[in-house]
Each structure stands twice: as C-alpha cells, then as structure tokens.
Chains A and B, each alone.
Chain A
Amino acid sequence: MTERKDASGDGRRKGLGRRRFLSGVGASGLATAMAVFGSATPASALVAAGCCNLCRSRSGTFAQCSSGTHYVWSCSIGGSAFLHCTCCEHGAKSGCAHVTQSWYECRYN
C-alpha cells in the first residue's frame, strides 16, 4: 500500500518536471520569435505609390496637403518611360504617427 503511494508520487513529480520543461521550450520559442519578428521597422507600413513612399494612402487635394506643416518632394524612376512623381505629407514632423494626410501625383515625361 505504502509502495503504491510512493510510485504515484514519483509519477506526479515526473509529470510536473516534464510540464515545466515543455513550458520552458514554448517560452524560449516565443521569445525567439518575438526577438526576430518584434523588431519590424516602421518603414514596413509605408505605402508605395509610383516612386513615392508615403505614410498613408492618397486622400484630399494637393492644396490641402501642402498647407500648414507639410513636406513636399519629387522623385523620378526610369525604365521604358521616365516617371516623375510629386509626393506630399501633411503634418509630417516626426514620423508617420503625425502624418494626417498623404498625396501624390505622377506623370510620364
């Protein structure tokens, strides 16, 4: 009777150890995944339009975008034709978090 009790206690201890080991394995895996994928750069959220790289999808007009705090710049890209784009971000002072409107226009030269 006593022997049976001891055997059952050993089994419980072994099961507990196994569970701790497996939870350690799981936690290590999660930590590795977070270290690798958790460091995504803000650039991954940018919207590519023509040769522009904007914080948001195009909305509103150029006049609205280029009023107040804004940043306007042009870009060009080659190939079979020469594409020239005007890119605008409204409210762009420190990262995409402050950009409230993006606008662009492209034409082939």
Chain B
Amino acid sequence: MLVVFGFALLVLAVAVVVLFAMIGELAARVPAAETGAGWVRPTDEARLGSVPEVWPPELAHAPDRDTYVLLVLSTVCNSCKAVAAQLVDGQADWDGVGIVVSTASRRNGDDFVAERRLGGFVSYVDESGSWSREQLGVESSPTAVVLRRGRVVAAYAFSDLALLRSEVDDRSRPSEAKEAV
C-alpha cells in the first residue's frame, strides 16, 4: 500500500514539475505585452550619412553588403527582450541583419545572447556601448540602423520587426531608395 502511495506521489511530483516547466517555457516565449499596435518611426539619433571608421571583426562584412541592418539592443532595455523574441520566432530567415548588444560588461552581453537564443545571428557585444555611441551615434534601444555599403542611410526606433523589415525592404527598392548622403 505504501509503495503504491509513494509511486502515486512521485507521479504527482513529476507532473507538477513538468507543469511549471511548461509555464516557464511559455512565459519565456511570449513577448511582453505592449499596449497598442506595433510601430516603426524614423529617428535622427544616428549619424545619417556617415560611415563608421572602425568595424568590429564580427561586423566586418557589413560594409560589403548593399543593404545591412544593425539592430542595437541593450541588456538594460526591457523592450529589447520582445524584439529578440520576434527575431528568433518570426524573422530567423533575415540574413541581412546583425545584432549589436550594448552592455555594461562582456559577461552580461554574452548572457543576453545565450538567454535570448540569438546564437544563430551575427552578433557583437559592445561593452559600455562605446562603438554604438561613437561610430553610429546611437545610445538608445531598440534602434535599427540601416547601412548601405557601410554608410548609415536611415535609423528607426521600433517595436515590431516585421514592420521594420517591410520598411527596410521598401527602402531598398532602387526606385524608392532615398539615401541620406
């Protein structure tokens, strides 16, 4: 009788553990709720028209691409978690994108990349945010910097990656391109 009771207790304990694990996994996957619809708005924070003088090795290929988008996220930015989730869950096929993680320390940045499952994307951990600040003129997140052959041609504050991608694609079409040189 005791053995049956013990076995039932074990099954119950395992069920509770699995239930909590499922709830945790769901909570990690669902982006933080925001009021209102997604938005993308141009920002003049970035140095439009400039070309960064220094490129980190992780982003050395960016100037060779016709159009390349840098998503500047930060470890202290709560809204960046939702952006990272959108990137992983809905825009994993976007190969013209690189992630810059502005952070206080290398460790925090590496943790952010690992916890947000961004390992499959090109990413650069920007300690103190100095590269973003000095080379792009960006010190706010989430910000998307659009580069054309390495030149900063546009920058957006945004909450919705699908909208942002559509905006960038529209801009990349030769007839509609409006470069800020």
Q: Which residues of A contact B (CB under 8 A)?
A: 18, 21-22, 25, 28-29, 32-33, 36-37, 41-43, 48, 50-54, 71-80, 82, 84, 87, 89, 92-95
Contacts and interface: CB of A to CB of B under 8 A. Distances in A.
Task: Give chain A's interface secondary structure class.
Answer: mixed
A76 B79 contact: yes
Contact of B157 (A25, A42, A76): A76
Interface residues of B, number: 41
Interface string B98-134: 0000111101100100010000000000001100000
Contacts of A43: 111, 115
Contact of A79 (B3, B14, B36): B36
B140 A84 contact: yes
A3 to B, nearest CB: 26
Contacts of B94: none
Contacts of A28: 10
Contacts of A93: 104-105
Contact of B77 (A21, A29, A72, A73): A73
